[in-house]
Amino acid sequence: QVQLVESGGGLVQAGGSLRLSCAASGRTFSNYGMGWFRQAPGKDREFVAAIATISTNYADSVKGRFAISRDNAKNTVYLQMNQLKPEDTAVYYCAAKSAMSAAPIGYQYWGQGTQVTVSS
């Protein structure tokens, strides 16, 4: 079982930056594929970014602006978000899966989410 706790959300102006963190429980964090998803009001949850051992994967809408990374010593995955746009406003969720891949599917564990609001 893996428990995930997100932090770092907030209100930012368009063009600004935020860094989300996701702290994971468990001693096998380094064996898990990790991802970030988001859900805007009235919309389905969508894939944002994922990381395996070193490989990464991004949604087209965030390529070049967002960067995912992980620190296995701290059991933490990060999402650095730059050049934020109002359409990035959503609840952001951290996710984990026992398969070490950066594919946007197969996630078994989810955090509670953190709100990101980008004002225009």
| Cα diameter, the chain | 41
Q: What is the tens place of the pLDDT at every residue in 22-65? A: 999 977 898 999 999 999 999 999 999 999 998 999 999 999 99
| Cα distance between residue 83 and residue 45, in whole Å | 21
Exposed/middle/buried for residue 117 (C-beta within 10 Å: 0-12, 13-18, 19+) = middle
- Beta partners for residue 93, in sequence order: 37
| Cα distance between residue 120 and residue 12, in whole Å | 9
| Cα distance between residue 120 and residue 67, in whole Å | 22
pLDDT at position 21 is 98
pLDDT at position 26 is 77
pLDDT at position 1 is 83
